[in-house]
Structure 1
Amino acid sequence: MVFFMSYPPTRRQLVVSVGFFAAGVSLFVAGAYLSLANISPQQARVKARNDFVKDRIRKWLDD
């Protein structure tokens, strides 16, 4: 590790590092966008499931 940090990075190494960083950021942004774009159907499924469970429990307790 000491050998690696002993010399400053070359121009090519900096370009590759910036490229990998940009690729990682773009993947992160794409994942966040897809997660937020699909949140309303997920929320609807959770609400429907919760309503179903509540109705079943109410029916079970009332009988």
Structure 2
Amino acid sequence: MVVWAWPPTARQMAVSGGVFVFGASLFGIGAYFSYANVAPQQELQKARKEILRDYLKKRFGD
């Protein structure tokens, strides 16, 4: 833990708060886009799995 030699100024506290809010908003935006893109990614994975399964069946038989 950091012990300051002097108390932070109001401007330093405001900048620290702004940086915290900015970081939290970036985290929230990332979580939103991650959740919003789950279904398309699952569909792509399913399509890849089917293509691989079809290839393996063609190549090696049932």
Cα-Cα RMSD: 1.9
Aligned to 1:58: 57
Q: Which residue does 2:30 correspond to in 1?
A: 31
Q: Kindly report structure 1 stretches of 4+ aligned residues shifted beyond 4 Å.
A: none
Shift of 1:5: 2.7
Aligned partner of residue 5 in structure 1, secondary structure = coil
Q: CA deviation at 1:38?
A: 1.1
Structure 2 gaps, min length 5: none
Q: Which runs of 5+ in 1 are unaligned?
A: none
Q: Compute the TM-score of the two structures, normalised by the length of structure 1.
A: 0.85
Summarize the alignment of residues 1-40 of structure 1 with structure 2, pairs less than 5 Å apart: 5-40=4-39
Q: Percent of counterpart pairs with the same letter?
A: 48
Greater helix fraction, Structure 1 or Structure 2: 1
Length, aligned pairs only: 61
